[in-house]
Amino acid sequence: MPKRAYSLLRPQCQTSSVVFASPHSGCDYPEWFLRRSLLNAQTIRSSEDAYVDRLFSSAPEYGAPFLMAEAPRAFLDLNRAADELDPALIRGVRRPLNNPRVASGLGVIPRVVANGRPIYHGKLALDEANRRIDSYWRPYHARLQTLLDDTRASFGRAILIDCHSMPHEALDTLVRGGAPRPEVVLGDRFGASAETDIVDEIESAFASAGFAVSRNAPFAGAYVTQHYGRPARKQHAIQIEIDRSLYMNEALIEPRPDFEDFRARLAGVIRDIIAIGTPRQQLAAE
């Protein structure tokens, strides 16, 4: 099994209501899992948000915690509800009502990776699925909720930044008539998971760094934004999707030669997002 459910990078002193998390950058693939799969060690990583943990690792330097999954997405998807179980993969599970994620093979225990490529021969036992959920899903989400609760208690609100990457081709159908291709997509469930002013400020942080930004298309946010985005309770959740081709070779799943330059550019955006959640009196004193 993967060694840990998550890693947590903490700042020396948390100075902001912003919390970062990466549920899909885990890359601890057990050997038995790879042997059991139909896919080779390269192909099985195609759904992984590779290197997103490295891209956002500067967050603690500016005063915000960063929670990172260790278990890979192909093994367990932390951006799904624990009960999004796929009857086409897991024995003894009833067919869910109208769940397109599960129907497409992308439940909490995924049946496929990118482009619909199957992961397994045959089905899994329900006991095995539950062990994965108990060992990795529940600890990750328990820690995330504790971070948000503690942050809200300290700052009066919590702003979760759910960090992801997207294939370059994901936006092909949206780019028409010479319109600029978005490099970053912000998802707030069409305004349901975060106050508009917060999302406006996050968009401004990316735009000021020269990124082309769009909202909610084709990614409006999944389980994490839906579950944790509670603006009425001063708990906001915004999903960030970054075009993978900006920092990595997608075919080889390797960082581009200018990866560190891109990471430095993104660090400025991270600093500005963290400042959104920094109390005004503290900013005035700095």
Which string of DSSP letters, residue by residue, matches 14-51? Answer: --SSEEEEESS------HHHHHHBSS-TTGGGGGS-TT
Low-confidence spans in the chain with pLDDT less than 70: 96-97, 176-178, 281-286
Q: Report the DSSP beta bridge partners of residue 158.
A: 235
What's the pLDDT tens digit per position in 217-252? 899 999 999 999 999 999 999 999 999 999 999 999
pLDDT recorded at residue 11: 97
pLDDT recorded at residue 172: 81
Task: Quote the tokens at residue 148.
Answer: 């948000």
Q: From residue 84, give the alpha-carbon distance in Å to each of 74, 103, 118, 137, 205.
A: 15, 10, 18, 12, 34
Q: From residue 197, give the alpha-carbon distance in Å to each of 65, 155, 175, 210, 238.
A: 22, 17, 26, 20, 12
Q: Report the DSSP beta bridge partners of residue 241.
A: 164, 185
Handedness of CA 185, 42, 80, 170 (dihedral sign): positive
Query: Residue 227 corresponds to which amino acid?
Result: H
